[in-house]
Amino acid sequence: MANLTEEIKKRRTFAIISHPDAGKTTLTEKLLLFGGAIHVAGAVKSNKIKKTATSDWMEIEKQRGISVATSVMGFEYEGYKINILDTPGHQDFAEDTFRTLTAVDSVIIVVDVAKGVEQQTRRLMEVCRMRNTPVIIFVNKLDREGRDPFDILDELESELHIDVRPLSWPIGIGAKFKGVYNIYEQNLSLFKADKQHVTDRVDIRDINDPAIDKAIGSNDAEKLRADIELIDGVYPQFSTLDYLDGLVAPVFFGSALNTFGVKELLDCFVRIAPSPRPVQAMERTVEPGEDKFTGFVFKIHANMDPNHRSCIAFVKVCSGVFHRNQYYLHVRSDKQIRFTAPTAFMAQKKEIIDDVYPGDIVGLPDNGVFKIGDTLTEGELIHFKGLPSFSPEMFKYIENTDPMKTKQLNKGIEQLMDEGVAQLFVNQFNNRKIVGTVGQLQFEVIQYRLLHEYGASCRWDPIHLYKACWIESDDEEALEAFKHRKRQFMAIDKDGRDVFLADSAYVLQMAQDDFPKINFHFTSEF
């Protein structure tokens, strides 16, 4: 048993979140670089080195330079097993990010020093607060002109509603950027713009060490000492407990592109970040150290490998140990399933793995048995909660433009919808398929992936809708009357549930007033 406890203590599972362009994927890369998981930043190890970020491996991501699917990467660092979930920053993919946050124990937020806190970052922070997830903030791009670090700290506190405590401090900014003083470990790193290698470190005894003056010049040294004195005066001493309770966010400064300030972040992170925490199921709290395996599906990805039409379900292990070739209960379908090829990930590279511990993410080949939110156990009937599908905000009819490829199109739509990228509704009046998403970009991604991964071409036709609501009622008669009266606006989702498609806020309000016995739901969980 000690073995399981030790394995749990070694695990650090976290997500990196930010607004688009703050440098999240670059930071992920550099962490992998320190973990020895990759040897050149941006290199996908192949016979010809292609310079695109390791975690952005889907074709459309390489073309557009944005992350649209959450990638999972694991590596070892100084005796710790680290699992990073890189999330899409683009708000059209917020739902994917919200789900990912249910599978992590802590979060690193990346903030651009010039732009400060942006809207998407605020929304993600709200999700962290709801779940009391511990947060570390990395202020990025210090090699570019930006705002005063003290102003950034004030903004972080007021915008993210959390107390902050700097654990490293920049010396100069932009063209005058000279390095970072590590408050947590009391040493100094000097900046050299270098994307591949790590920078010089000056070991000092304390902030008044003359070695600092020698390294950065007496003017900057004086300013640094004044800044540190101010920080100690204004901000309370750093407490790991407050951080773990989600009350304080440690702040680090650096430049991910130049691999600078990243090691300070990583060294502190592995020491203070939480190992896997208990997970709340509907029935009870599941402790990571329990003997029996439990886990849930938080993401499904179609076409990890376009050569084999394969889907992979990503499962977060909550307790016990997952063993290859053992039978587990799939709670929703009440079937026993055995997995012969569970995989661990390094972005797209995957290897078959025999044992998976709490906090780890395992990929299970999925031939259509999984849905997001499914629970796997050794027989216990429990359900993990908190993985809703939100009501989409944009809708379009999807039309097949090549009748010869109908089968491929249907297969593609089915697999992509299982990923939770978008939702499919079939109108009961005219049998047309409607795709609902939270953002415009998702339509482009779906069209692109259908063509390139399934060989099916489609076009989008406009439809004017305001909201999709799932409806139910204890009164069968009232439900039938509603469906009859609103038959032009009735659809079913991919699980066969009734959905009312309201074309305006007014129509929805009228429907709610006219049919008091009908319950209207705006997420798929009820």
DSSP letters along 40-67, please? Answer: STTEE-SSS-EES-TT--SHHHHHHT--
Q: List strands edge to edge, sheet with 423-427.
A: 458-462, 394-400, 433-437, 423-427, 490-493, 498-502, 467-472, 519-521
Q: Within its chain, how far is the Cα of 5 from the centroid?
A: 26
The model's pTM: 0.73
Structure-token pair, residue 227: 């800044």
Q: What gap in Å lies between CA 125 and CA 111, rounded to an integer?
A: 12
Please report the domains of the chain, with CATH numbers, ordered by start residue: 13-276 (3.40.50.300), 280-377 (3.40.50.300), 394-521 (3.30.70.3280)
- Residue 70: the pLDDT is 46
**Once rounded to an integer, what is the mean pLDDT over residues 144-171?**
89
Segment 503-518 shows an average pLDDT of 90
pLDDT at 165: 92
Average pLDDT (491-512) is: 90
pLDDT of residue 92: 47
Average pLDDT taken over every residue of the chain: 81
Distance, in Å, from the CA atom of 469 to the CA atom of 393, rounded to the nearest integer, reads: 11
CB 312, CB 328: distance < 8 Å: no
Is the pLDDT confidence value at 263 over 90? no
3-state secondary structure of 383: coil
Amino acid (one-letter) located at 3: N
Amino acid residing at 146 = G
How much of the chain is helix, strand and coil, in % rounded to 5?
30, 30, 40
Specify which residues 502 forms β-bridges with: 467
For residue range 279-325, list pLDDT tens digits in order.
888 888 899 989 999 999 888 776 555 555 567 888 999 999 999 88
Mean pLDDT of the region 130-158 = 89
Residues 23-63 have pLDDT tens digits of: 877 888 888 787 765 544 444 333 333 445 555 545 555 55
pLDDT value, residue 59: 57
Percent of the chain topping pLDDT 70: 82
pLDDT at residue 117 in the model: 86
User: Does the pLDDT at position 394 exceed 60?
Assistant: yes
**Higher per-residue pLDDT: 203 or 287:** 287
CB atoms within 10 A of CB 357: 22
CB-based contact 37:130 (threshold 8 Å): no
Mean pLDDT of 332-359: 80
Q: Indicate whether 88 pLDDT > 90.
A: no
Tell me, what's the pLDDT at 432? 92
Average pLDDT of the segment spanning 71-79: 81
Q: To which residue do tokens 């975690």 refer?
A: 55
In the predicted structure, residue 89 carries a pLDDT above the cut 70: no
